[in-house]
A and B are shown apart, each in its own frame.
Chain A
Amino acid sequence: MSKKLLTAVIGTALLGLTAHTASAGTLEDVKAKGFLQCGVNGSNLAGFGAQDSSGKWTGLDVDLCRAVAAAVFGDASKVKYTPLSAKDRFPALQSGEIDMLARNTTWTINRDSALGFDFRAVNYYDGQGFMVPKKLNVKSALELSGAAVCVQSGTTTELNLADYFKANNLQYNPVVFEKQEEVDAAYQAGRCDVYTTDQSGLYSIRLSLANPADHVILPEIISKEPLGPAVRANDSKWFDIVSWAHYAMVAGEEFGVTTANVDEKLKTENPDLKRFLGEEKDQHIGKDLGVDEKWAYNIIKQVGNYGESFNRNVGEGSPLKIARGLNGLWSKGGLQYAPPIR
């Protein structure tokens, strides 16, 4: 039996057999076991979720897991990671194997409703793109008629691809694999002409190819891919904590609070910032959320604000060098915006 089938069967069996006990909220479960089980990228997608040779996890999605742990435990290191392929991620979350999913997962209405998840925060605004070998001399996706296109199954990518080629009346040959490593290998072996996935993913994958300079990413963005954390539906307490962990990172950037200066900022007289850092007298934002009053302080102190995390993992401070673009603060022409923390 294939591994995939096995995972699915076990996932479903868990869904069937473990239910009666898992009825407490996820927050209580997480507190009781003492760590957060976070579902992340299974294929070492540098910048989002990747494990280095010493076993340490880094990435934008990994930082979100750490931020949630910092909020819940006051300790960002209390996270255990479950690497998941595109196909395995949803059964893993449905069955309760993981507490949250932070794995470049697109928020769609279908996943939000029919699949039984909840999405709200978006930690990376992305869109689907195409990568081709330079030697094919392609300038636009509209020239791709007749190409063999490599794509990962069980993704929004696969659906957008079918729609885009159909809408533009182009022919193509899908070459579909379940694991990203297999797609990478097929693309490199020349099994297909084009690689399509989220543009951020393309940047990351291009860096892992033998000769990154031999591949170009085409200008067309064919879809909206708001990537964000997902939790099981109908657990609003847990949903709030996961969402606000992201918003706290964004608010940190808005306030200009960083890992380096957060202790100094504790002395602030700004009431807004005081509340954010848990310094207001008798405040109960943290208590109402179900975490410590110092939750946001801990996130910034141990993980950093959104800008720091972006820069370190995918931005100028990383090999990927992705511009802030849509992921800049709203006040700087981007879409990252934290609702008021009050």
Chain B
Amino acid sequence: MVTSTDVRDDGGRSATSLLYNPVLRQIIYQVLTCAFIAWLIWYAASNVAENLARANMTAGFGFLTGRAGFDIAQSAIPYSSDSPFTRALLVGFINTIIIAVCGIITATIIGLLVGIGRLSSNWLIAKLCTVYVEVFRNIPPLLVIFFWYKGVLSLLPDVRQSLSLPLSVYVSNRGIFMPAPVFGERFWLIPAALVVGIIISLIYRAMARKKQMATGKASPILLVSLALIIGLPVLTFIALGTPITFDPPVLGKFNMRGGTVVGPEFLSLYMALSFYTAAFIAEIVRAGIKGVSKGQSEAAAALGIRPGLTTRLIILPQALRIIIPPLTSQYLNLTKNSSLAVAIGFADLVAVGGTILNQSGHSIEIIAIWMGVYVTISLATSLFMNWFNTKMALVER
């Protein structure tokens, strides 16, 4: 009797338990989700194909080898209207990278200074930094861009009345015109000397560390490295007899001729992204430093370590662990915000892609390229920052 009830119970449980089995249930949900996503993609793709066919349009990336036909104002590589669309995209991509890298470096420096400044015991500095953060954090980035473009840079004088600074630098509402360097024949030896200087100083550093471990004696690493890294290229430069000349800009009938120019479009985007993102980075830095427990600096003080060394060797390394992950998202934000370039006519990837989209009509392909490139840039940044994060992580024993 008891046994038979047991058996029946078991049978009931195994029938329902299949439905309530968490593993199986998870698998079913996942399969359903995957199937739904696959169906959605298939549906969208077949619709696109059908619509394109109805409109007599072709899909595919083949059109990219065609002649672009339009000029681009800001290009870091040789480009003309005869270049193919692919090259135009490359120009835009390089411009995006340039703005992102410059912006990230500047934003990090400003953010670090302001973040530390907010913790300063000097009342004025702390308040100024607070005001900075609150102002820039609460304004949409597009407005910051317009502020720089329309509010600051376009108020500069006309080219014909350019502000003339020393060393043939001219500032006007068309940008900053500077002498263009013309490199001599053996100029490449100078960057080569720089690389050699860096390598030697790295080796010196490793040896000095070893010595310090063994004998406890510290060597002047910073001084020697600086001497090597700056000294070697300078010596090469003198030895080669200054293999560089400058082509200064001069005022032509319409515009400055010769020289190189940093346009107001680049400048305002660069400034805006740097200042805007710096406000967020400052907060991250402040949080990071605050996040290191007070006991750490007290212990350092008790051991007689100097305040500067305490910050550099004890507080910052621990703060970095807190800082790096949110910092990564700020870097990604800055890169993505650089697509606001289109509002002021800076030729970034989105602006150039938009022009191609319009001139060729291949919207789907261009949007796919945009998405692919931004995802790749973002993933690469994340990977690098993750690597850096693991390197910085506290090694626990």
A58-66, A108-116, A291-299, A303-311 - interface stretch: A108-116
A267 to B355, CA, bound (A): 54
Please tell me if the beta carbons of B255 and A176 are within 8 angstroms of each other in the complex: no
Contacts of A182 in B (CB 8 A): 343-345
In the complex, A5 has a CB within 8 A of chain B: yes
- The number of residue pairs between A and B whose CB atoms lie closer than 8 Å in the complex comes to 164
In the complex, A254 has a CB within 8 A of chain B: no
Interchain CB contact (< 8 A) of B57 among A9, A16, A115: A115
Main secondary structure of the interface of B (DSSP, over half): helix
Interchain CB contact (< 8 A) of B73 among A174, A185, A234: A174
Please tell me if the beta carbons of B174 and A19 are within 8 angstroms of each other in the complex: no
In the complex, A262 has a CB within 8 A of chain B: no
In the complex, A134 has a CB within 8 A of chain B: no
In the complex, B4 has a CB within 8 A of chain A: no
In the complex, B60 has a CB within 8 A of chain A: no
In the complex, A136 has a CB within 8 A of chain B: yes
Please tell me if the beta carbons of A159 and B359 are within 8 angstroms of each other in the complex: yes
Interchain CB contact (< 8 A) of A8 among B47, B48, B69, B357: B357
Query: In chain A, residues 27-63, which have Cβ atoms closer than 8 Å to a Cβ of chain B?
Result: none
Contacts of B81 in A (CB 8 A): 159, 162-163, 166
In the complex, A1 has a CB within 8 A of chain B: yes
Query: In chain B, residues 226-275, which have Cβ atoms closer than 8 Å to a Cβ of chain A?
Result: 252-255, 257, 264
* Contact sample, A vs B, 24 pairs, CB 8 Å cutoff: A1-B339, A2-B343, A4-B350, A4-B354, A8-B354, A15-B51, A17-B43, A18-B47, A19-B50, A20-B47, A20-B50, A87-B357, A94-B361, A94-B363, A115-B361, A116-B55, A116-B361, A136-B253, A144-B254, A154-B358, A172-B71, A176-B347, A189-B173, A191-B174
Please tell me if the beta carbons of A177 and B73 are within 8 angstroms of each other in the complex: no
Query: In chain A, residues 233-275, which have Cβ atoms closer than 8 Å to a Cβ of chain B?
Result: 233-234
A190 to B252, CA, bound (A): 15
In the complex, A124 has a CB within 8 A of chain B: no
Query: In chain B, residues 66-95, which have Cβ atoms closer than 8 Å to a Cβ of chain A?
Result: 69-73, 80-82
Interface 1/0s, chain A 151-190, versus B by CB < 8 A? 0011000110111001000001111111000100110011
Contacts of B187 in A (CB 8 A): none
Please tell me if the beta carbons of A146 and B257 are within 8 angstroms of each other in the complex: yes
User: What is the minimal beta-carbon distance from B41 to any residue of chain A, in angstroms?
Assistant: 10
Interchain CB contact (< 8 A) of B367 among A12, A111, A144: A12
Interface size class of B (residues with CB under 8 A): 35 or more
Query: In chain B, residues 192-240, which have Cβ atoms closer than 8 Å to a Cβ of chain A?
Result: none
Contacts of A234 in B (CB 8 A): 54-56
Interchain CB contact (< 8 A) of A16 among B47, B252, B359: B47
In the complex, A221 has a CB within 8 A of chain B: no
Contacts of A193 in B (CB 8 A): 254-255
Contacts of B45 in A (CB 8 A): 16
Please tell me if the beta carbons of B254 and A148 are within 8 angstroms of each other in the complex: yes
In the complex, A11 has a CB within 8 A of chain B: yes
A174 to B264, CA, bound (A): 13
Closest to B340 in A: A2
Closest to A148 in B: B255
Please tell me if the beta carbons of B354 and A154 are within 8 angstroms of each other in the complex: yes
A90 to B80, CA, bound (A): 25
A176 to B345, CA, bound (A): 6
A193 to B350, CA, bound (A): 26
In the complex, B154 has a CB within 8 A of chain A: yes
Contacts of A278 in B (CB 8 A): none
In the complex, B323 has a CB within 8 A of chain A: no
User: What is the minimal beta-carbon distance from A69 to any residue of chain B, in angstroms?
Assistant: 24
Please tell me if the beta carbons of A147 and B255 are within 8 angstroms of each other in the complex: yes
Please tell me if the beta carbons of A173 and B255 are within 8 angstroms of each other in the complex: yes
In the complex, B342 has a CB within 8 A of chain A: yes
Closest to B371 in A: A9
In the complex, A314 has a CB within 8 A of chain B: no
A234 to B54, CA, bound (A): 7
Contacts of B80 in A (CB 8 A): 166
In the complex, A86 has a CB within 8 A of chain B: yes
A176 to B88, CA, bound (A): 14
